[in-house]
């Protein structure tokens, strides 16, 4: 008997927490270093706006990244992301901590967006594992959703919009921008 396809919309409607990797998801994965100690990353403004919109409908947001960067800390502050775990070699530890701190007890209520092998230990635990379009193939194979857009190029916005729609909040979200 063929495997039944999961009802992605029903899964997305129950998301209470969304967690993002940084390099390759919130950014295009490139890290620019200057000759001193400066590090530069480019974040997509539409992704940031999507994060703000999903927070407004009650979904909590977290970041887990293997690197440590003041740039990431700054961007998280700008977006009001309260669950930020940097320098994580084993992302499962940070995942458990974020879930606890966010008050989310069921893995089915969590979405994780990743792009590389280090994201798999968390992706296989959550209810809605997502891979960005330019993720490694073996990561895409384990995702319920693969975005059309690449990491750092509005892939995050694609997912935040989809979850907002699935939760039935799209019309009220749009209304905030279209009514005087």
pLDDT at 133: 98
pLDDT, residue 20, reads: 98
Distance, in Å, from the CA atom of 72 to the CA atom of 136, rounded to the nearest integer, reads 23
CB 17 within 8 A of CB 110: yes
The residue-averaged pLDDT of 21-43 equals 90
Q: Would you state the pLDDT for residue 179?
A: 84
The pLDDT assigned to 73 comes to 96
3.40.50.1000, 3.40.50.150, 3.30.420.10, 3.40.50.720: CATH of 8-175: 3.40.50.1000
Give the Å distances, CA to CA, from 55 to 32, 51, 52, 110, 161: 30, 6, 5, 14, 11
Predicted TM-score (pTM) of this structure? 0.94
pLDDT (tens digit per residue) in 110-169: 999 999 999 999 999 999 999 999 999 999 999 999 999 999 999 999 999 999 999 999
- Mean predicted lDDT score pLDDT of the chain: 95
Question: Is a pLDDT exceeding 90 seen at residue 30?
Answer: no
Position 58 confidence tier, pLDDT thresholds 50, 70, 90:
very high
> What is the pLDDT, as a whole number, of residue 105?
93
Q: Look up residue 103 and give its two tokens.
A: 């008050």
CB-based contact 126:109 (threshold 8 Å): no
Say if residue 120 is exposed, middle or buried (CB neighbours under 10 Å; 0-12, 13-18, 19+). buried
């Amino acid at each position: 008997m063929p495997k039944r396809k999961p009802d992605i919309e029903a899964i997305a409607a129950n998301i209470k927490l969304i967690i993002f990797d940084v390099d390759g998801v919130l950014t295009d994965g490139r890290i620019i270093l200057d000759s001193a100690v400066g590090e530069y990353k480019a974040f997509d403004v539409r992704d940031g706006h999507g994060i703000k919109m999903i927070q407004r409908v009650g979904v909590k947001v977290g970041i887990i990244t293997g690197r440590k960067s003041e740039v990431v800390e700054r961007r998280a502050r700008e977006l009001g992301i309260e669950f930020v775990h940097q320098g994580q070699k084993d992302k499962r530890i940070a995942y458990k901590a974020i879930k606890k701190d966010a008050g989310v007890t069921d893995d089915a209520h969590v979405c994780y967006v990743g792009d590389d092998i280090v994201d798999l230990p968390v992706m296989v635990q959550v209810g809605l594992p997502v891979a960005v379009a330019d993720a490694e193939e073996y990561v895409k194979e384990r995702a319920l959703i693969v975005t059309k857009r690449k990491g750092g190029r509005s892939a995050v916005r694609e997912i935040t919009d989809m979850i907002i729609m699935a939760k039935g909040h799209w019309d009220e979200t749009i209304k905030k921008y279209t009514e005087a």
